[in-house]
Amino acid sequence: MNQFKKFLGLVWMIFGVLAYGMLLKTCLEQIRSKPTTDTIIQWSIFAIIFLPIAIGFLIFGWLAFKGAYDQLPESSEAVED
C-alpha cells in the first residue's frame, strides 16, 4: 500500500504541473484571440487563483512520495500534538 501511495504522489505532482501548464496555455490562447482588457483581467485572475492550488498538488504529492503518509493514526487518540 505504501508503494501505491508513493506512486500516487508522483501522479499528483505531474497532475499539478500539467494542469497549470494547460491553464497557462489556454490563458495565452484566449488573450491572443481577444486581446481586450476584460479578457486579460479574467484569465490573469484564473491563473493567479489556480497557482496556489497547483502548488498544493505539488506539496501533497511530494509528501506522499517521501513517505509522510506511511504511518497514519487509526484513531484520534493516536494523534500527538
Give per-residue pLDDT as tens, 35-71.
999 999 999 999 999 999 999 999 999 999 998 888 7
Residue 74 placed within a domain: no
If one counts every other C-beta atom within 10 angstroms of the C-beta of residue 67, the result is: 12
Range(s) of the domain holding residue 60:
2-67
> How many residues comprise the chain?
81
Residue 78 placed within a domain: no
Q: Are 15 and 62 in contact (CB under 8 A)?
A: no
Of the candidates 26, 25, 14, the one whose C-alpha atom is nearest the C-alpha of residue 54 is 14
Residue 80 has pLDDT above 80, yes or no: no
Residue 59 placed within a domain: yes
Q: How many distinct structural domains can be found in the chain? A: 1
